[in-house]
């Protein structure tokens, strides 16, 4: 498992499969997962001749997990810097980038900050434009975990205890998945192992601890001027069984992207690349 050169002192563990002369693809995972979330997607793309790079983000899997100020080292800007550094190191340009959950946000920032690297995006929610809808009853009942992650109590109750980590992650993998998907025991055991080492869980939630307010992440978004919208072609794979992001929240994407298409994915929950890897792979190949 190679490690990238450090950016801000963080190295990214990553896998690379497929022919190095093929069309380049970068796959970014979400929380609570790691780079193995994209195993099915990577296998399909590598098998059709793509050069596929799949890193663990800062604080996840085999990547570095430094106990540093989250606002400086674990937010979207920092994560995008590490991913851009990896692509620069590998000499890749014109990359099709796929991401879900946190990986989606990082992919969007990468496309905004380094359009020279990105040819196209295939992402799942979250997308911009949610606004005050995050404050309604149903979303607030789902997003409790983001406030919990900002408390020291998260470290005290969960971090470093493999059994508690497994039970905690099992809740999200079962609650957020679609009706036809159940995470296997092997899958949960793997995630419990990588999240259960001392300091690993806290590193993984650095994303949530990096902002002053988790609600403010949604409320603070303002549409840019047309010239400043993300210009690369973007497809949002929007699942109908994701309890976090109802499909009607896709209505303002055109204010933030110059070329965006919403692709409905039915019968699937939050973990689109895990639950429907063929859908995710086909969108990237296209």
Rounded CA-CA distance 60/216 in Å is 24
Q: If DSSP codes are grouped into helix, strand and coil, which group holds residue 136?
A: coil
Asked about 38 being catalytic, the answer comes back as no
Q: How far is CA 100 from the centre of its chain?
A: 4
Rounded CA-CA distance 124/272 in Å is 8
| CA torsion angle 118 122 125 126 (round to 10) | 0
| 260 exposure class (CB count in 10 Å sphere: 0-12, 13-18, 19+) | buried
Of the residues 100, 168, 195, 208, only one is catalytic, namely 208
Of the residues 14, 50, 149, 270, only one is catalytic, namely 270
Nearest by Cα to 240 from 153, 150, 125: 125
Residue 274 is encoded by which pair of tokens? 């895990």
Asked about 270 being catalytic, the answer comes back as yes
Strands 51-55 and 14-17, how do they pair? antiparallel
Asked about 171 being catalytic, the answer comes back as no
Residues 6+ apart with CB under 8 A from 56: 12, 13, 14, 29, 34, 35, 62, 63
Of the residues 15, 51, 64, 101, only one is catalytic, namely 101
Rounded CA-CA distance 39/27 in Å is 10
Catalytic residues, by residue number, are 101, 208, 270
């Amino acid at each position: 498992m190679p490690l990238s050169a450090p950016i801000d002192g963080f190295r990214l563990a990553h896998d690379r499969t497929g022919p190095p002369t093929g069309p380049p693809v970068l796959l970014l995972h979400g929380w609570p997962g790691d780079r193995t979330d994209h195993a099915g997607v990577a296998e399909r793309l590598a098998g059709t001749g793509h050069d596929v790079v799949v890193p663990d983000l800062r604080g996840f899997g085999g990547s570095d997990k430094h106990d540093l100020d989250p606002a400086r080292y674990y937010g979207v800007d920092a994560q995008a810097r590490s991913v851009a550094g990896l692509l620069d190191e590998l000499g890749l340009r014109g990359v099709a980038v796929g991401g879900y959950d946190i990986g989606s946000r990082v992919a969007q920032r990468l496309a905004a900050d380094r359009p020279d690297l990105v040819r196209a995006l295939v992402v799942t929610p979250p997308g911009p434009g949610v606004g005050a809808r995050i404050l309604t009853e149903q979303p607030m009942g789902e997003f409790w975990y983001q406030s919990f992650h900002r408390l020291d109590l998260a470290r005290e109750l969960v971090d470093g205890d493999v059994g508690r980590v497994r039970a905690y992650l099992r809740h999200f993998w079962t609650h957020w998945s679609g009706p036809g998907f159940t995470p296997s025991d092997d899958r949960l055991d793997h995630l419990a192992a990588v999240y259960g080492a001392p300091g690993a869980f806290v590193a993984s939630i650095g994303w949530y601890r990096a902002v002053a307010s988790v609600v403010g992440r949604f409320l603070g978004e303002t549409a840019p001027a047309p010239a400043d919208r993300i210009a690369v072609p973007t497809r949002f794979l929007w699942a109908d069984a994701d309890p976090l992001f109802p499909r009607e929240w896709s209505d303002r994407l055109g204010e933030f992207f110059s070329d965006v298409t919403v692709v409905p994915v039915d019968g699937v929950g939050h973990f689109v690349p895990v639950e429907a890897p063929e859908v995710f792979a086909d969108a990237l190949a296209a």
